[in-house]
Amino acid sequence: TQLLEQSPQFLSIQEGENLTVYCNSSSVFSSLQWYRQEPGEGPVLLVTVVTGGEVKKLKRLTFQFGDARKDSSLHITAAQPGDTGLYLCAGVGRVNKFYFGSGTKLNVKP
Amino acid sequence: GAVVSQHPSRVICKSGTSVKIECRSLDFQATTMFWYRQFPKQSLMLMATSNEGSKATYEQGVEKDKFLINHASLTLSTLTVTSAHPEDSSFYICSARENPWTPQVSGNTIYFGEGSWLTVV
pLDDT tens for A2-19 read 689 999 999 999 999 999
Band of pLDDT at residue A29, cut at 50, 70 and 90: confident
Q: What is the mean pLDDT of chain A?
A: 91
By the CB < 8 Å criterion, does B100 face chain A? no
Q: Which stretches of chain B score pLDDT less than 70?
A: 1-2, 99-109
Helix (H, G, I), strand (E, B) or coil at A18: coil
By the CB < 8 Å criterion, does A94 face chain B? no
The answer to whether the CB atoms of A97 and B46 lie below 8 A apart is: yes
Higher-pLDDT residue of A93 and A28 is A28
Distance (Å, whole) CA B110 – CA B98: 7
Task: For B3-31, write each residue's pLDDT tens digit.
Answer: 899 999 999 999 999 999 999 998 888 88
Q: Which of A104, A109, A97 is nearest to A36 (CA)?
A: A104
Task: Please report the residues numbered 10 through 69 in chain A whose beta carbons come closer than 8 angstroms to any beta carbon of chain B.
Answer: 30-31, 33, 40-43, 45, 48-50
A1 pLDDT exceeds 90?
Answer: no
By the CB < 8 Å criterion, does B109 face chain A? yes
The set of long-range contacts for A92-95, using a CB threshold of 8 Å and a minimum separation of 24, is A92/A29, A92/A30, A92/A31, A92/B103, A93/A3, A93/A27, A93/A29, A94/A27, A95/B49, A95/B57
